[in-house]
């Protein structure tokens, strides 16, 4: 094959161009005046755009954030062979805390990064919303504490994820494994590629934020109720049992009156973290309202739900709440209700029964778990 023959992998446009007899007669002239190289360049760009559109489609078809990140890692690794790729984002819209997910050689990996917030970089990336070499970013920001912490990871490129609410997150890309620098052309392609990644991640975060309570990061009341309805329908179709735990902070009003509402907010945030740490991946922890929380446990018998509730109660009693002065210890009361395929109750009645069990715990002295039983209708506390 000579330098003008194309082969089947060059695409229909390029093949049609070079197969035109009038073009074939003047190939040498067209090459001399630069038309051939220009056409080849355009064909290369078209292929690149087609690849980007395909990547973008794959991104927006990802079911969850993990699939999205792994797809991004696969494409970036195939293109550039970076030493590592790390994603840092705010899982809760109005919270400074960040989640960090890092990858090396296509696999999830640990990254030594003590950075706790990306707020320091928000103003910079809102002004320069595109991928940037880290040393260029460092020149403009200076070597402050957060930039120094970011430097410890040794990123080569920093890519912002920008949305209507500001900086959602950043992506760190390490030096190439082969040691070559990233070219201007590669940086331009990376900017186009990361546009799709940023859009997909933003869409996912917007969806997640719509399901979550802003203060605690747990699921909100509406999403919890929807999932309970779905779980009721699922248990009726099968033979499994599922459960609900209702949680209330004991004497929370007295706590707010003593320490102030800001301290109370910190308690709720700390409690939410404890709940997350003590439930399964498939469980649905939510903030039901005020200082009340709920956990939906799919495929969990009553005994299992009571064990989870007791684990939560014990963990909260040992919880340390960060505050400028020591705070009194916090306790919670819990109620448990389980339902199976024989249950003919609607969602609100199931919630009401879990609530009855919760208030039985309150009546028996607080800081305990009660499993709902029919005797609760008569005002007799149920089993602990």
Residue 3, in any domain of the structure:
no
CATH number at residue 231: 3.30.70.270
For 20, 63, 155, the CA distances from 228, given in Å and listed in that order, are: 65, 21, 44
Domain co-membership, 94 together with 177: yes
| Range with the poorest average pLDDT among 20-29, 160-169, 282-291, 306-315 | 20-29
Q: How many domains does the chain have?
A: 3
Residue 203, in any domain of the structure:
yes
For 328, 353, 359, the CA distances from 345, given in Å and listed in that order, are: 40, 10, 20
Residue 174's pLDDT is what?
92
State the Cα–Cα distance between residues 100 and 93, nearest whole angstrom: 15
Domain co-membership, 50 together with 71: no
Domain co-membership, 192 together with 96: yes
Domain co-membership, 79 together with 203: yes
Torsion angle, alpha carbons of 230, 233, 235, 239, to 10: -150
Residue 5's pLDDT is what?
42
Domain co-membership, 75 together with 180: yes
Residue 76's pLDDT is what?
85
Residue 163's pLDDT is what?
78
pLDDT band, very low/low/confident/very high, at 196 (cuts 50, 70, 90): confident
Task: Show the tokens assigned to 282.
Answer: 């498939």
Domain co-membership, 263 together with 373: yes
Residue 177, in any domain of the structure:
yes
Question: Has residue 179 got a pLDDT over 70?
Answer: no
177, 211, 245: which is the final residue of a domain? 211
Q: Give the residue numbers spanning the domain of 176.
A: 64-211
Q: Which of 156, 269, 291, 356 is catalytic?
A: 291
Domain co-membership, 12 together with 79: no
Residue 1, in any domain of the structure:
no
162, 189, 211: which is the final residue of a domain? 211
Report field, pTM of the whole predicted structure over 0.75: no
Domain co-membership, 43 together with 184: no
Task: Identify which has the larger pLDDT, 120 or 55.
Answer: 120
Domain co-membership, 263 together with 350: yes
CATH number at residue 79: 3.30.450.40
pLDDT band, very low/low/confident/very high, at 13 (cuts 50, 70, 90): low
State the Cα–Cα distance between residues 254 and 379, nearest whole angstrom: 26
Catalytic residue status for 291: yes
State the Cα–Cα distance between residues 17 and 26, nearest whole angstrom: 12
Residue 7's pLDDT is what?
42
| Range with the poorest average pLDDT among 71-80, 91-100, 242-251, 261-270 | 91-100
Domain co-membership, 76 together with 36: no
Question: Has residue 329 got a pLDDT over 50?
Answer: yes
- What is the DSSP secondary-structure string of 78-133? HHH-BS-EEEEE-SSTT----EEEEEETTEEE---------GGGHHHHHHS-S-EE
Question: Has residue 82 got a pLDDT over 60?
Answer: yes
User: What average pLDDT does range 7-19 have in this prediction?
Assistant: 55
Residue 2, in any domain of the structure:
no
Residue 204's pLDDT is what?
80
pLDDT in tens, 113-144: 888 889 889 999 988 888 899 999 999 998 78
Domain co-membership, 288 together with 348: yes
For 11, phi and psi rounded to 5 degrees? 100, 160
| Range with the poorest average pLDDT among 1-5, 147-151, 168-172 | 1-5
Domain co-membership, 26 together with 69: no
User: What average pLDDT does range 307-333 have in this prediction?
Assistant: 92
């Amino acid at each position: 094959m000579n330098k003008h023959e194309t082969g089947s992998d060059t695409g229909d446009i390029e093949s049609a161009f070079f197969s035109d007899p009038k073009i074939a007669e003047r190939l040498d002239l067209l090459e001399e005046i630069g038309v051939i190289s220009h056409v080849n360049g355009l064909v290369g760009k078209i292929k690149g755009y087609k690849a980007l559109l395909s990547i973008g489609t794959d991104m927006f078809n990802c079911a969850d954030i993990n699939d999205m990140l792994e797809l991004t890692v696969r494409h970036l690794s195939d293109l550039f062979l970076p030493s590592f790729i790390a994603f840092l984002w705010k899982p809760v819209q109005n919270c400074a805390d960040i989640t960090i997910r890092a990858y090396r050689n296509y696999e999830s990996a640990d990254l030594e990064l003590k950075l706790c917030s990306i707020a320091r970089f928000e103003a910079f990336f809102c002004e320069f919303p595109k991928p940037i070499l880290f040393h260029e970013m460092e020149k403009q920001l200076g070597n402050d504490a957060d930039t120094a912490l970011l430097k410890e990871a040794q990123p080569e490129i920093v890519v912002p994820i920008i949305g209507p609410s500001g900086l959602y997150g950043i992506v760190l890309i390490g030096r190439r494994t082969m040691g070559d620098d990233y070219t201007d052309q590669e940086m331009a392609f990376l900017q186009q590629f990361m546009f799709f990644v940023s859009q997909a991640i933003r869409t996912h975060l917007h969806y997640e934020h719509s399901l979550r309570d802003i203060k605690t990061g747990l699921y909100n009341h509406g999403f919890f109720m929807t999932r309970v309805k779905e779980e009721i329908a699922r248990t009726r179709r099968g033979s499994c049992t599922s459960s609900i735990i209702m949680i209330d902070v004991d004497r929370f009003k007295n706590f707010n009156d003593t320490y102030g509402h800001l301290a109370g907010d910190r308690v709720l945030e700390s409690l939410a973290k404890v709940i997350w740490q003590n439930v399964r991946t498939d469980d649905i922890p939510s903030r039901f309202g005020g200082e009340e929380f709920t956990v939906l446990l799919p495929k969990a018998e009553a005994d299992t739900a009571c064990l989870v509730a007791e684990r939560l109660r014990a963990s909260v009693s040992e919880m340390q709440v960060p505050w400028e002065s020591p705070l009194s210890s916090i306790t919670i009361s819990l109620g448990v209700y389980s339902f199976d395929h024989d249950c003919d109750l609607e969602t609100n009645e199931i919630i009401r029964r879990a609530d009855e069990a919760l208030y039985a715990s309150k009546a028996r002295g607080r800081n305990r778990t009660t499993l709902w039983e029919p005797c609760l209708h008569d005002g007799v506390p149920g089993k602990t």
